[in-house]
Homo-oligomer: A and B are copies of this chain.
Amino acid sequence: MNTVSAEIITIGDEILYGQITDTNTQWISQQLDGIGIKTVRKTSVGDQREAILSALQEASQRAHIVLVTGGLGPTKDDITKQVFVEYFNSTLVFHQEVLDHVQSLFDKIGRKMSDLNKNQAYLPECAQVIPNQLGTAPGMWFEKEDCIYISMPGVPHEMKGLMNSCIIEKLQQKFQTPTILHRMVKTIGIPESTLSELLAPWEEQLPEHISLAYLPSLGQVKLRLSGVGEKAELLAQELDREVTTLTQIAEKYIYAYDNEEVEHIIGQLLKDQNASLATAESCTGGFIANKITNVPGCSVYYKGGIVSYSNEVKMSQLGIPEEMLKAHGAVSEEVAKTMAKQVRIKYGADFGISTTGIAGPDGGTPEKPVGTVWVGYSDANTTEAKLLHFPHTRQMNITLTYNALMNWLRKKLLKEE
């Protein structure tokens, strides 16, 4: 069985200049991975004819499939379609059904179609057209000398629409691919090198077709186990066995598996206990509420929260006494505890959590430098606070606060702390 390989090419000056965040390539490679196609390279080039031509040429020599996004818009900086015409030595032909579709999109929003949009109905003669329900630029599928080229718009939801509605299925029909499976094990509270030493004996006995990678991020290390095989079921069993062994070795550092994030785990624990949560945030400014409410169905266990950015709101909405703010300051153990307790009581929740700190870049003092954060926890029996220190930028300090607080809540819910 041969590995089927893919290269992803993104086209656009805005990517090269760093003016937009490219989320397409990550998503595409995840989808390919899921159907056993191995991404061997990702390439970004600008909206220049020569650069696109050479990227196509090179990619076709490395990979069975070349997926291209971007440069299909109606404006004149978008030249991908023209370059494909040249690359395949083809010509543009008119597609009435594409024009009808573009027309229907404009009719729907009650606007007049422009000549630029009409041009989108001209496509290379050698292309198989892939209808784009969500936008004006269709996808295109080309085959030449045992290489498949797929051109898609760069707008993420349009690209995803094309992949999900047609391209993934077409690729699966075309190739017989080996099974590639991954398991992700997420740890927190242990540095990469310490974890690596702890796992070394187990890692060394892994069979050749299963590999381990360490993916460190803010305060966390994710472990990725990847297996390659012929039979999905057998491989899945093998990987599950390895995850079980890994869990026995490193249990106290593991907070989640696979696609789960800590907010999913917290949600599940709360559901299991038929319990509810409320949040009171100062320095995290709604970040925690936003993470928790990113989980569909969270309304069962999440009552809601207060973002108490001003001292006024801390006093009027969370009952923090003015004297407490004067004596200890807003960033203090007392305030963190009162916030957690008050929001729990006010919102009728079983658990309350809180943050108050100096996320930066300004607002630090010698006693309380930027990165000083108090987090609070309250349930019916106890109200506690913890002091954290982070040395990073505003956004990183907020994320680290979130990770630390959610891990604390997780341990509380598990009665581990």
Binding site for B on A (CB under 8 A): 13-23, 25-30, 33, 38-47, 51, 55, 58, 73-75, 77, 111, 114, 116-117, 136, 155, 157, 182, 184, 191-194, 196-197, 211-217, 222, 224, 226, 279, 281, 285-290, 292-294, 296-299, 302-310, 312-313, 316-317, 346-348, 360-362, 392-396
Interface pair B304/A308, CB less than 8 Å apart: yes
User: Across the interface, which residues of B come within 8 angstroms of A184, CB to CB?
Assistant: 19
- Contacts A/B (CB < 8 Å), 19 sampled: A14-B215, A15-B42, A16-B40, A18-B30, A19-B30, A19-B182, A19-B224, A40-B51, A73-B192, A73-B216, A75-B193, A75-B214, A136-B193, A289-B307, A296-B361, A298-B309, A304-B310, A305-B306, A312-B348
Q: In the complex, what residue of chain B is closest to A199 when comparing beta carbons?
A: B75
Whole-angstrom CA separation of A312 from B297 in the bound complex: 16
Interface pair A293/B309, CB less than 8 Å apart: yes
Q: Which of B47, B155, B213, B310 contacts A303 (CB 8 A)?
A: B310
The distance from the CB of A73 to the nearest CB of chain B, in whole angstroms, is: 7
The distance from the CB of A136 to the nearest CB of chain B, in whole angstroms, is: 8
Q: In the complex, what residue of chain B is closest to A38 when comparing beta carbons?
A: B16
Q: A40-B46, A304-B308 are in contact. List 19 more A-B contacts (CB 8 A).
A: A13-B226, A14-B215, A15-B42, A18-B27, A19-B30, A19-B182, A42-B42, A47-B213, A73-B216, A77-B212, A77-B214, A114-B194, A155-B216, A279-B307, A286-B305, A293-B309, A294-B394, A304-B306, A316-B346
Whole-angstrom CA separation of A380 from B40 in the bound complex: 60
* Main SS class of interface, A: mixed
Q: In the complex, what residue of chain B is closest to A289 when comparing beta carbons?
A: B286
Given A197-B116, A362-B296, A18–B41 Cβ distance below 8 Å?
no
Whole-angstrom CA separation of A279 from B58 in the bound complex: 52
Given A302-B309, A313-B347, A285–B289 Cβ distance below 8 Å?
yes
Interface pair B17/A21, CB less than 8 Å apart: no
User: Across the interface, which residues of B come within 8 angstroms of A193, CB to CB?
Assistant: 74-75, 114, 116-117, 136
Given A18-B27, A23-B21, A193-B114, A211–B289 Cβ distance below 8 Å?
no
User: Across the interface, which residues of B come within 8 angstroms of A213, CB to CB?
Assistant: 13-14, 47, 77
User: Which interface residue of A193, A214, A302 has the most chain B CB atoms within 10 A?
Assistant: A193
Q: Which of B20, B75, B222, B360 contacts A196 (CB 8 A)?
A: B75
Interface pair B20/A217, CB less than 8 Å apart: yes
Q: Which of B22, B114, B289, B293 contacts A26 (CB 8 A)?
A: B22
The distance from the CB of A143 to the nearest CB of chain B, in whole angstroms, is: 24
